Chains A and B, each alone.
Chain A
């Protein structure tokens, strides 16, 4: 596999298995090789087929290849002609989270305190009942 022992992401691996690059420096040497990222015309029928990989998938592959410095080994993309200064954000810095996620701990704590208080009150209530029962059961004599 490419790059020796380095493990590539599954998408890249699958792509290189189907469309391996011809040299270490480029995906294809000449124009003869059909590009899976571009539409192609069937010589016999004259009909055009769309790209094998959609724009979204091409972009995914490009980003993965760029992370591993292999972007030169991909064929020419349909929409990404020439690399511009583009910063690919690889992770979210400080995700905000939803409101209920932010409040979750506080809500749970509040629920717990209410429950504990209720249980205490229940115990006190039961003690009271026992006392009253004891008082009432005593005969007036």
Chain B
């Protein structure tokens, strides 16, 4: 039998400053993509974190 898709998925919030730092979060599969302003410790500032796929 085919595996049923989950209602929520895990996503990676990746720093737009190119440092590679990320946060992990879950959202509903049907919800729009997430963007947050969060703290990036590698530069010591707050920047936008964009959604990226969790591998």
Contacts and interface: CB of A to CB of B under 8 A. Distances in A.
A121 B48 contact: yes
Q: Does more than half of chain A's interface fall in helix, strand or loop, or is it mixed?
A: helix
A91 B47 CA distance: 48
Contacts of A122: 16, 37, 46-48
B35 A119 contact: no
B9 interface: no
A51 B47 CA distance: 66
Nearest to B40: A118
A114 B18 contact: yes
Given A115-B43, A126-B37, A121 B16 contact: yes
B24 interface: no
A119 B47 contact: yes
Which of A117, A118, A121, A125 counts the most B-chain CB atoms under 10 A from its CB?
A: A118
A121 B46 CA distance: 11
Nearest to B45: A119
Interface string A93-129: 0000000000000000001001101110110011000
A74 B10 CA distance: 76
B28 interface: no
B37 A118 contact: no
Interface in B28-52: 35, 37, 43, 45-48
12 contacts: A111-B18, A114-B17, A114-B18, A115-B43, A118-B15, A118-B17, A118-B18, A119-B17, A121-B47, A122-B46, A125-B48, A126-B37
Given A114-B17, A121-B48, 9 more contacts: A111-B18, A115-B18, A115-B43, A118-B48, A119-B45, A119-B47, A121-B47, A122-B46, A122-B48
